[in-house]
A and B are shown apart, each in its own frame.
Chain A
């Protein structure tokens, strides 16, 4: 499925201030797109527009293709929880779609690796577990695109890695659009980055090119990924990920 926005703008009914302005972009059936920018640059709003949850005030969004199912996972997973058990939570989306919710829920839990949590109450989990439940509860609908709002914020390094692995797994048959501040994570897992500033697109393209560009990072308020910084310091080509960097450097420079 393809999502195409054509000069869209958005503001809340309460105030005039444009959160998104004149924004045009296309999301093809590609793997993982990171939306980045300062707090207030419009990341969450753009995600909600792409997910079809919000309608643009001006401009148009076209959803082309067969499936037209887009899932959205909010920044605070607790905003979505209302069932007694994790499995009921994950069954909710396929139930709404009138699909085999039991089967789909089990499959989603297995894919995320949280079957052992299925009878637990969502409210009692750690933040990392909650984020995983939130993701499971939207992939159970089997949408072909999912929008994740800050999937790794407040997470501990281990949980962050686990979410990263989950995303790499999901990339095979789902388009993932996610917002994040974490440039290291975007560098490792995004195939494309869209940088927002004041509700407009500042630039977009391959993570390596954008995040190595000091000027862009400064203008957008982004932190240069640690791997890129380190490789520039040492004078080597930036490795794809941490493990590769360890391998290269262990062999001596």
Chain B
């Protein structure tokens, strides 16, 4: 098998993800997270992987705090008494929440690393060789290919609306409302693409019963 055989990467990522879900001790998960970060650093793909996860920095703190409150157990560090209920930050909650967040980070990182290091076509070929139905694999690799295009379209729409007086800023509610003129055309363009996709697939003779050019590439290095 070729050194960079996509199957290895896919299986490796899945193994990491499953392991981090099974383990219930922080002291075990940290090494796993360290492994995947080190691999990405060695491969030179660390910063790219991190950029894929940029939206995470908004979600992670929220998840952390919510779980900290929710899994209250053990000694209380701090508590607020609101008329209806009491919010306590406990040691037990801190522990559980850290576990959950570390797991999430590991899974997200492993998944993002897979996407960054594997060209969609290799990913697809790897899935197929592992026994997945090809149509499913193709759809996932096509989605991967489309991500940068969708990012670009989103930006173009944002710029178009700025030319009509949409300014950034304001309180959170105002900010969300301002996303509507961007989201609507964006979703419209995605659905247009979906409609055209079936025509494009037909034109290109889409068929599950096919040969594999990638085989040549992987055979050569044997």
Contact = CB atoms under 8 A, between A and B. Distances in A.
Query: Real complex partners, A and B?
Result: yes
A92 B177 CA distance: 13
- With a 10 A CB-CB cut-off, give which of B161, B164, B180, B181 has the most chain A CB atoms: B164
- With a 10 A CB-CB cut-off, give which of A53, A137, A147 has the most chain B CB atoms: A53
Nearest to A96: B165
A78 B189 contact: yes
A162 B188 CA distance: 28
Contact of B164 (A54, A76, A138): A138
A81 interface: yes
B112 to A, nearest CB: 17
Contacts of B188: 78, 81-82, 123
A53 B163 contact: yes
A79 B164 contact: no
Contacts of B181: 80, 82, 92
A138 B166 contact: no
A225 interface: no
Given A79-B156, A79-B157, A82-B180, A138 B163 contact: yes
A141 B164 CA distance: 8
A93 B164 contact: yes
A8 interface: no
Nearest to A141: B165
Interface string B154-178: 0011011111111100000000000
A21 B210 CA distance: 48
Interface stretch (A67-75, A192-200, A237-245): A67-75
A172 B156 CA distance: 30
Given A72-B160, A74-B159, A74-B160, A81 B185 contact: yes
A48 B185 contact: no
B159 A80 contact: no
- With a 10 A CB-CB cut-off, give which of A70, A72, A79 has the most chain B CB atoms: A79
Interface residues of B, number: 20
A51 interface: yes
Contact of A80 (B153, B160, B180, B183): B160
A48 B159 contact: yes
Nearest to B167: A96
B18 interface: no
Nearest to A69: B165
A78 B166 CA distance: 17
B43 to A, nearest CB: 20
A234 to B, nearest CB: 43
Contacts of B157: 79-80
B160 to A, nearest CB: 4
Contacts of B163: 48, 51, 53, 70-74, 138, 147
A97 B184 CA distance: 21
Given A80-B185, A82-B181, A123-B188, A96 B156 contact: no
Interface of A: 48, 51, 53-54, 70-74, 76, 78-82, 92-93, 96-97, 123, 137-138, 141, 147
Given A76-B156, A81-B188, A92-B165, 8 more contacts: A51-B163, A54-B159, A72-B159, A72-B162, A72-B163, A78-B192, A81-B184, A82-B188
Interface of B: 153, 156-157, 159-167, 180-181, 183-185, 188-189, 192
20 contacts: A53-B162, A54-B159, A71-B164, A72-B162, A73-B160, A74-B159, A74-B163, A76-B156, A78-B188, A79-B153, A79-B160, A79-B185, A80-B157, A80-B181, A82-B180, A82-B183, A92-B164, A93-B164, A97-B165, A141-B165
